[in-house]
C-alpha cells in the first residue's frame, strides 16, 4: 500500500483548504477502488483496519446494498462505539431494518414537503431576518452571522425550541461536530495535545444538554400541542406506531447536528467557491432564478459537507474484485466520489450550470439517503438568492479557517470566513 493513502488519517489532511485536500484525494483515488488502512484506535489502544472507498461506483454499490453493508454497527464513526452512544447521537442513521425502516417511516410521514410547508415558507422569513442582522456592518465573519445561525434557527423553529434556548443548541452542536477542535471543547490550550477523555466528556455533556431540552419540550407538547414538528411526532396520527420520547430526542439531536452543520458548511463553502470563481458568480447573478437549481447541486457536489459514512460487511463479499470479510469496515468518502473523473466531466471545475449532476453529497441511493435533502436544497437556494440580490459585491476577505478536528471529521467544516461588502439597509424592519 502506498503511504499516501494513510494521509486520510492524519489531522493535517483535513485541516487543508478544500482545493488542496481534493487534489490529494484525486491521487489517493487512483491507488485503487478499495484501500485498506490500518490506524491506531485510541479508544481501545489497538491498531484496527478500515477500507476507504473514494470512487463513485463503489460508493453507490455499498449504499444500495444495505443488507450486505450494514449501518447498525456504526455509520457515523470510523471505529466501533457502544450502540447506545451511536443511537443517542445518530438515531436511525446508525440502525438497520426493520428498526431503521420503522423509525424513518414515522418521521418521513411528517417530513414531506407538504407536511413541512410552513417550515419551507419560513425559510425566506428567517433568511431575511438573519441578513438584516448584519447587512449594515460591511465586514463580518460569515459563519458567525449567517452560515451558523440560519439553518439552526429553522430547525429550532420547526421543532418548537424557543429562541431563548438557541445558544444552548448552538454550543452543543458545535461541540458534537467539532471533532475535538479545542475552540469548541476547551480540552487543550494552544500548545497542548488534545485530551481525549475531556473531549468525550464534552461530547456526552453536549448530548445531555440537548436531551434534557428536548425531553422538557416533549412533556410540554404532550400537554399543550401546537403545530410544530415535535407536537406532530408526539401526537402521531399513524394508527399503529408512535415514536417513544427517547426516539424523538435522538431524532432531534440528529437533526440539530447533521441537518444544521451540513447546510451551514454548504453555505460557507459556496460563498468561498463563488469568490474563487468570479466567472461562475457572474453567470449565476445574470440569471438567479434560472441558475439556482443547478448551482445549489454543484455547491453540494463540490464541497460535499458530509465527509463520510461508514458501513460494515455482514458477510464475506467481493467489492471491485477485492475480497472483504464479515465485520470489515468500509468508509465512503463522498467528496472524493463526487470528483471521480470516471463519472464527472472536468470534476475539479466548479460549474454552476453543470448537468447532469448525480452527486452523492446527500449520501448514496438507498435506505439512508438524506431525509432532509429537500429542506437543505430549499435553504441553500434561498440564502444564495438573497445574498446575490442584497449583497452583490460580497467577497471573501481572508483565508477560511478550517475546523481543527483531531481525526477524520464527519463534517469537514469551515469555522470562520471573513467577508466584506457594501453596507445596505435592512429590508425586514
The model's pLDDT over 109-165, given as tens digits with 9 standing for 90+, comes to 877 777 778 888 899 999 999 999 999 999 999 999 999 999 999 999 999 999 999
Residue 405 has pLDDT above 90, yes or no: no
In a domain, 325, yes or no: yes
What pLDDT does 190 receive?
46
Grid cell digits, residue 115:
407536511
d(CA 197, CA 199): 5
What pLDDT does 1 receive?
45
Q: What distance separates the 2 farthest-apart alpha carbons in the chain? A: 62
3-state DSSP call for residue 198? helix
In a domain, 42, yes or no: no
Please check whether residue 385 is in contact with residue 285, taking contact to mean a CB–CB distance below 8 angstroms: no
The model's pLDDT over 300-352, given as tens digits with 9 standing for 90+, comes to 999 999 999 999 999 999 999 999 999 999 999 999 999 999 999 999 999 99
The set of residues, in sequence order, having a beta carbon less than 8 Å from that of 207 and lying 6+ positions away, is 88, 89, 172, 176, 253
Residue 242: CATH number of its domain: 1.10.630.10
pLDDT band per the 50, 70, 90 thresholds, residue 211:
very high
What pLDDT does 240 receive?
60
Q: Could you tell me the pTM of the whole model?
A: 0.94
In a domain, 322, yes or no: yes
Number of Cβ within 10 Å of residue 403's Cβ equals: 23
d(CA 250, CA 36): 32
Residue 196 has pLDDT above 60, yes or no: no
DSSP 377-424: HHHHHHHHHHHHHH-TT-EE-S--EE---SSS-SB--EEE-EEE----
Secondary structure of 142-195 in HEC code, one letter for each residue? HHHHHHCHHHHHHHHHHHCCCHHHHHHHHHHHHHHCCCCCHHHHCCCCCCCCCC
For 67, phi then psi, to 5°, come to -80, -30
The more confident residue out of 362 and 183 is: 362
The more confident residue out of 252 and 118 is: 252
The more confident residue out of 87 and 166 is: 166
Q: Which domain holds residue 380?
A: 71-329+368-420
- Environment class of residue 45 by beta-carbon count within 10 Å: exposed (0-12), middle (13-18) or buried (19+)? exposed
Residue 280 has pLDDT above 90, yes or no: yes
Residue 2 has pLDDT above 80, yes or no: no
In a domain, 397, yes or no: yes
pLDDT band per the 50, 70, 90 thresholds, residue 238:
low
Please check whether residue 87 is in contact with residue 65, taking contact to mean a CB–CB distance below 8 angstroms: no
In a domain, 288, yes or no: yes
Triad 236, 242, 244: Cα angle to 5°: 120
Residue 97 has pLDDT above 50, yes or no: yes
The more confident residue out of 191 and 276 is: 276
d(CA 305, CA 411): 6
The model's pLDDT over 258-279, given as tens digits with 9 standing for 90+, comes to 778 889 999 999 999 999 999 9
Give the closest residue to 371 by CA, choosing from 113, 65, 157: 113
Q: Where are the alpha helices (DSSP H) in 277-372?
A: 278-286, 288-303, 334-337
Handedness of CA 193, 197, 199, 202 (dihedral sign): negative
Please check whether residue 364 is in contact with residue 59, taking contact to mean a CB–CB distance below 8 angstroms: yes
In a domain, 130, yes or no: yes
Rg of the chain on CA atoms, in Å:
21
The more confident residue out of 41 and 397 is: 397
What pLDDT does 112 receive?
77
In a domain, 358, yes or no: no
What pLDDT does 208 receive?
92
In a domain, 255, yes or no: yes
Handedness of CA 90, 95, 99, 104 (dihedral sign): positive
The model's pLDDT over 344-385, given as tens digits with 9 standing for 90+, comes to 999 999 999 999 999 999 999 999 999 889 999 999 999 999
d(CA 209, CA 168): 8
What pLDDT does 131 receive?
98
What is the domain count for the chain?
A: 1
d(CA 58, CA 76): 18
Amino acid at each position: 500500500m502506498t503511504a499516501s493513502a494513510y494521509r486520510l488519517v492524519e489531522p493535517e489532511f483535513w485541516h487543508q483548504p478544500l482545493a488542496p485536500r481534493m487534489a490529494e484525494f484525486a491521487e489517493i483515488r487512483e491507488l485503487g477502488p478499495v484501500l485498506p488502512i490500518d490506524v491506531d484506535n485510541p479508544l481501545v489502544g489497538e491498531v484496527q483496519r478500515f477500507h476507504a472507498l473514494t470512487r463513485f461506483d463503489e460508493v453507490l454499490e455499498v449504499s444500495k446494498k444495505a443488507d450486505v453493508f450494514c449501518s447498525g454497527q456504526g455509520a457515523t464513526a470510523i471505529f466501533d462505539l457502544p450502540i447506545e452512544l451511536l443511537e443517542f447521537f445518530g438515531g436511525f442513521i446508525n440502525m438497520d431494518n426493520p428498526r431503521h425502516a420503522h423509525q424513518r417511516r414515522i418521521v418521513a410521514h411528517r417530513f414531506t414537503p407538504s407536511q413541512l410547508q410552513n417550515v419551507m415558507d419560513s425559510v425566506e422569513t428567517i433568511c431575511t431576518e438573519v441578513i438584516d442582522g448584519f447587512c449594515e456592518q460591511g465586514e463580518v465573519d460569515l459563519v458567525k452571522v449567517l452560515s451558523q445561525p440560519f439553518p439552526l434557527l429553522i430547525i429550532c423553529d420547526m421543532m418548537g425550541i424557543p429562541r431563548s434556548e438557541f445558544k444552548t443548541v448552538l454550543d452543543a452542536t458545535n461541540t458534537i461536530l467539532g471533532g475535538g477542535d479545542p475552540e469548541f471543547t476547551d480540552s487543550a490550550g494552544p500548545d497542548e495535545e488534545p485530551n481525549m477523555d475531556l473531549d468525550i466528556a464534552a461530547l456526552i455533556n453536549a448530548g445531555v444538554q440537548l436531551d434534557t431540552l428536548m425531553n422538557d419540550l416533549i412533556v410540554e407538547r404532550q400537554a399543550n400541542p401546537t403545530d410544530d414538528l415535535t407536537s406532530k411526532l408526539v401526537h402521531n396520527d399513524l394508527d399503529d406506531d408512535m415514536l417513544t420520547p427517547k426516539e424523538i430526542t435522538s431524532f432531534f439531536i440528529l437533526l440539530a447536528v447533521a441537518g444544521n452543520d451540513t447546510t451551514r458548511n454548504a453555505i460557507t463553502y459556496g460563498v468561498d467557491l463563488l469568490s474563487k470563481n468570479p466567472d461562475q458568480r457572474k453567470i449565476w447573478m445574470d440569471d438567479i432564478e434560472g441558475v439556482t437549481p443547478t448551482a445549489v447541486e454543484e455547491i453540494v457536489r463540490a464541497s460535499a459537507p458530509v465527509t463520510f459514512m461508514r458501513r460494515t460487511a455482514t458477510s464475506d463479499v467481493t467489492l471491485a474484485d477485492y475480497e472483504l470479510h464479515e465485520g470489515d469496515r468500509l468508509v465512503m468518502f463522498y467528496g472524493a466520489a463526487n470528483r471521480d473523473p470516471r463519472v464527472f466531466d472536468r470534476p475539479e471545475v466548479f460549474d454552476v450550470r453543470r448537468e447532469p449532476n448525480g452527486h452523492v453529497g446527500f449520501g448514496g441511493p438507498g435506505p439512508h439517503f438524506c431525509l432532509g435533502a429537500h429542506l437543505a436544497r430549499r435553504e441553500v437556494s434561498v440564502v444564495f438568492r438573497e445574498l446575490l440580490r442584497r449583497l452583490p459585491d460580497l467577497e471573501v476577505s481572508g483565508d477560511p479557517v478550517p475546523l481543527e478536528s483531531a481525526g477524520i471529521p464527519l463534517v469537514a467544516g469551515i469555522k470562520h470566513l471573513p467577508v466584506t461588502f457594501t453596507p445596505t439597509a435592512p429590508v425586514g424592519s
